[in-house]
Amino acid sequence: MSKNVLVELSDALADAAEKTGKATVLVNARRRKPASGIVYAADLILTADHVIEREEDITVILADGTEIPAQVAGRDAGSDLAVLKLERAARTVAEPTKRPARPGQIALALGRPSPDGIEASLGTVSAIGGPMRTGRGGMLERYIRSDGISYPGFSGGPLVAADGTVLGLNTSGLGRGAAITIPADIAWKIAETLARHGRIRRGYLGVRSQTVEIPNASQKALKREQASGLLVVSVENESPASKGGLIVGDILVAVAHAPILHHDELFARLSGDVAGKSTPIEILRGGQPQSLNVLIGER
Partner 1 sequence: MNFNGTFTQVMNELVQQVLPSLVVVRGHRFGAGAGIVWDANGIILTNNHVVGRRLPIVLLQNDQEYESRLLARDPDVDLALLSIDATHLTPLKPASVSPRVGEMVFAFGHPWGQRNAVTRGIVSALVSAQNRRGDKLPVIRSDAPLAPGNSGGPLVNASGEVIGINAMIVGGDQSISIAASVARDFVSKTLANQKTEGHAGRRHHGPEDVI
Residues that bind partner 1 (CB under 8 A): 1, 4-7, 9-11, 13-18, 21, 108, 114, 116-122, 148-149, 151
CB of 107 to partner 1, least distance (A): 11
CB of 20 to partner 1, least distance (A): 10
Segments in 111-203 forming alpha helices (H):
184-197
Residues 70 and 52: beta-carbon distance below 8 Å: no
CB of 119 to partner 1, least distance (A): 4
CB of 5 to partner 1, least distance (A): 5
Torsion of CA 52, 83, 177, 175, to 10 degrees: 150
Q: DSSP class of residue 198? A: S
Segments in the chain forming alpha helices (H):
5-21, 184-197, 216-222, 240-243, 263-270
CB of 162 to partner 1, least distance (A): 10
Q: What is the DSSP string of 56-115?
A: SSEEEE-TTS-EEEEEEEEEETTTTEEEEEESS--S----B-SS---TT-EEEEEE--ST
